[in-house]
Amino acid sequence: MRGAVVVTGTGLVTPGGIGTDATWSSVCGGRSAARPDPELVGLPVAISCRVPGFAPDTVPVRQPWRYDRSTLLLLAAAHEAMADAGLSSGSWDGTRVALVVGSAAGGIGTLETQHRRLLSGGPTNVSPLTLTGYLPNMAAGHVALELGIRGPSLQTSTACASGATAVITAALLLAAGQCDLAVACGTDAMVTPLCAAAFAKMGALSRRDRDPARASRPFDRDRDGFVLAEGAGVLILERAEHAAARRIRPHATLAGYATTSDAHHATAPDPRGTGLRRAVTTALGAADATLTEVDHINAHGTGTPLNDRAEATTIRELFTRHTPTVTSAKGCLGHTMGAAGAIEAVLTVASIVRQTVPPTANFTAPDDHTDQIDVVAGSARPQQIDLALSHSLGFGGHNTVLAFTR
């Protein structure tokens, strides 16, 4: 195993805005991005969080019409992250660069569109680009092609923990010496009729169609589900000595990480938080840190009654000697599914860089499970943050925790 892994670049394309600064501003302002969605009219839930003003033809790629929306969001975020890290595809040895993309659903929008075309016009109406747009590995394949990445190119899928799992996988590739740089990503564009109908049927979505801005309410007493969203997040990882040789000052260090499984239920988290607890303590052990050193937690915080109850209970029972601040970006951005882990990892790094905790939008009153944790609400809170955790949980019982240090 080789040296410390640092974050030298970040990129975001989210419902809060295009770019890390735009998203950070939206989240710190506590502004919800949820809006009525014309494409979901007639479904049980017709609100969503989409990326405002995203124009695919502005993404610097050769043939944007070939790509699923999730790949275009990812490419836009990747270009920002590379520029932030002082990189370009012409400046690196592509054989020493790895790419890991986390996604829950791949190009599901392409698949749904082409299925409708099959039903309406028969097989001759189906695009020959259907599978290259849909297959879960193709986002990694397309991005590697666009950026000239010729090292390991992988896709991870652990539902809503996918982006965070991608960060871990990228760090392991660096630690094993398989690459010198790693582009760790999460992306999903699951605001589609089929996905919206399916999540609504499960009872996972908020039903506040008449008040979308107040629909996503992580940890709040009146939460009733999440708001479906789209987005992408990218982190450039490299070993500390490699960044030093490039004379790039890291944003933060990825000091520890861990992933565990609940083995409890297909969709519900373990209410005792056993798996999440093990992920937190294992990640801190890898970081050679203790619970008392954790200053801040960027929570998974979906706004569903079951998730928030399990996560809040775990935080309360783990942190008995001090109380780290807690926030969830999903009150502002909605739930970006497989992208969430990478997006929230970027926001956790931003909290360390800016020594600020964004508020949890729409958190106005705790319940019996959330009243003993320090959920930041109302406005952004300045705070000294030397060590912060990012939690990600996914259907299937996946728990992923990333530990970042200053």
Options 335, 369, 391, 398, the catalytic residue: 335
pLDDT(58) > 90: no
Structural contact between residues 349 and 404, judged by C-beta atoms closer than 8 angstroms = yes
Q: Band the pLDDT of 61: cuts 50, 70, 90.
A: confident
Q: Which whole-number Å values give the CA distances from 388 to 95, 114, 301, 359, in the listed order? A: 32, 43, 16, 15
pLDDT(354) > 60: yes
**Which of 108-117, 191-200, 267-276, 356-365 is the least confident region?**
267-276
What DSSP string runs through 146-196? HHT--S-EEEE-BTBTHHHHHHHHHHHHHHTTS-SEEEEEEEEE--SHHHH
According to DSSP, the residues that pair with 188 across neighbouring strands are 231
Options 160, 179, 195, 332, the catalytic residue: 160
Closest by Cα among 321, 274, 367 to 375: 367
**Which of 63-67, 242-246, 379-383 is the least confident region?**
63-67
* pTM exceeds 0.75, yes or no: yes
Tokens of 261: 């499984």
The single residue listed with the structure tokens 């240090």 is 405
Q: Band the pLDDT of 60: cuts 50, 70, 90.
A: confident
Determine the length of the chain: 406
Active site residue 335: yes
The pLDDT value recorded for residue 90 is 82
**Which of 51-65, 150-164, 276-290 is the least confident region?**
51-65
Structural contact between residues 55 and 116, judged by C-beta atoms closer than 8 angstroms = no
Options 300, 369, 391, 398, the catalytic residue: 300
pLDDT(399) > 60: yes
pLDDT(2) > 70: no
The single residue listed with the structure tokens 């942190």 is 319
pLDDT(1) > 80: no
Active site residue 300: yes
